[in-house]
Structure 1
Amino acid sequence: MPTVEYLNYEALDDQGWSVDDDDLFEKAADAGLDEEDYGTLEVAEGEYILEAAEAQGYDWPFSCRAGACANCASVLKEGEIEMDMQQILSDEEVEERQVRLTCIGHPAAEEVRIVYNAKHLDYLQDRVI
């Protein structure tokens, strides 16, 4: 079963970290963050990452659940996430900035690392509902 290691974008702000830091997850592991901000999820075959987070009791941001807004956006830091049909992200955001939508995304690797709650990134603001 794939494992998703996650980090809340708001925790980056609080800690003064950048989404581009190479050692982001090492710093998060040492920072004593609570489970809502940092941890791991097991994601069942065919299950979306957002669904897995909710099943474990987390309140991750979302709105449409259909890949038509950026509320559930995350930044993929390691591994691979396949998305069902999404219409809101540009090729540049997906391929170069590694943005993925957790409402329609499922892990395509055994281990995945994401920064969730990335809707706060400047370039996604115009697509947050």
Structure 2
Amino acid sequence: MARTDFLNVDLDVETQNLDELIPILEQKLVLVSQGGPRATFELNEQPANPDEAIQGLCAAIESLEGRARDLWDACTARSFDIGIESGTEPHSTIWPLQVDTLTRVARLQGTLAITVYSVQQRPDAKEP
């Protein structure tokens, strides 16, 4: 039986200044991928839930100063993307986001996204 699980929150950014922004953010976050003007970052440690992950990402960005903060402000996209792996159990799962979390994202001019991944069937699982 596959469980529905929170995976992580990706911070997706898009900017023409990516080559300058990446080394700055890598001091605080893990670079997951990069291509063209887009890059994806995550926290160094696995958060327990989406709210905790977004709070941690916000704290990293809020600590930027001077040129680093200017580079963040120049981004054309800033998405906090909650990753969920779907499953058959439990029937429903709720991961609340606190008002303070939503306020912090808004202050950083970010958007929220939710990506739901289909449950992966194990190679040894039998078809019904």
Length-normalised TM-score, structure 1 = 0.27
Structure with the greater alpha carbon radius of gyration = 2
Length-normalised TM-score, structure 2 = 0.28
